[in-house]
Copies of this chain bind each other. A is one copy, B any other.
Amino acid sequence: MGEYPRAWIVSVGNELLIGRTVNTNAAWLGSRLTLLGFDVERVVTVPDRVEDIAEEVERALGRARVVITTGGLGPTYDDVTLEGVARALGRGLKLHPRALEMVRSFYSRRGLGLTEDRVKMAMLPEGAEPLDNPVGAAPGAVVEARGTLVASLPGVPREMEAMFDRSLRPLLEGIAPPGAVVECGLTVRGVPESSLAPYIKRASRVSRMVYVKSHPQGSELGEPVVRVRVLARGATEEEARAEALRALEHVRRGVEELGGIISEEDSC
């Protein structure tokens, strides 16, 4: 897909590793980041342990343009994401006055004071700035080091999404490449994926700006159903769309030659 700024997602939480929770946050962020023009290179899920969080964030520093962590910002003993980020940066945690004010005002509006566990949510890595949480108590954090923007969002999807759209998105738009990304595809019936394979390969070689992928939906044989999706980039939306359609042309030819039918089209 050419050279686009790389993004990593570090998902923090044992509940994800033991399969109690499905990582929908990563899919939501992956889609948002892709449409902003980032090349999502990794999603790494780690336990709620400082050293594991630090290991993965450190790996991304200087390599990805953006790292987004989710989860582990709350008040409980195992909410240690910002400690992990701080360690990756070789910095300490420090009480941030504006973050503390956010936490204090969140609780005081409900007639509650600060406790040790609540104050902990305002301890940010040195040099980080808080991100406003429009929905919950814990502020997010954003800090730049070695050319990488590290942003930490909460794990509760509603909070994560609100914080991304309101506070992080504007920052990312400032560093995203110009241009447009489109996605489209079609569904093929009656042709096994393995027969369609050479046409998909040809479609993928149309240019470095397109990415073509087939997803078998039914069985390989019998009643095969294959969804083909194309992601394309361009200087403008029009250009991206033209690239995508050029790639899909190869797939259409394959379907025709192999005697399949196109049962559905998602236009781009």
Chain A residues proximal to chain B, CB less than 8 Å: 11, 14-24, 26-32, 34, 40-48, 52, 74-78, 106-107, 110, 112, 115, 117-118, 121, 135-137, 156, 183, 192-198, 200-201, 204, 211, 213-216, 219-222, 229, 231
Contact = CB atoms under 8 A, between A and B. Distances in A.
A117 B28 CA distance: 33
Nearest to A109: B221
Nearest to A17: B40
Contacts of A23: 22-23, 26-27, 43
A41 B34 contact: no
11 contacts: A15-B213, A18-B34, A18-B231, A22-B22, A23-B27, A42-B46, A44-B44, A77-B200, A106-B220, A137-B220, A156-B216
A45 B29 CA distance: 14
Given A15-B213, A46-B42, A220-B136, A194 B75 contact: yes
Contacts of A231: 14, 18
Contact of A77 (B107, B201, B216): B201
A192 B201 CA distance: 54
Number of this chain's copies in the complex: 2
Contact of A15 (B115, B195, B215): B215
Contact of A43 (B45, B106, B220): B45
B26 A30 contact: no
Cβ-closest 10 pairs across A and B: A19-B31, A19-B30, A75-B194, A77-B201, A43-B45, A19-B27, A117-B197, A17-B40, A110-B221, A18-B34
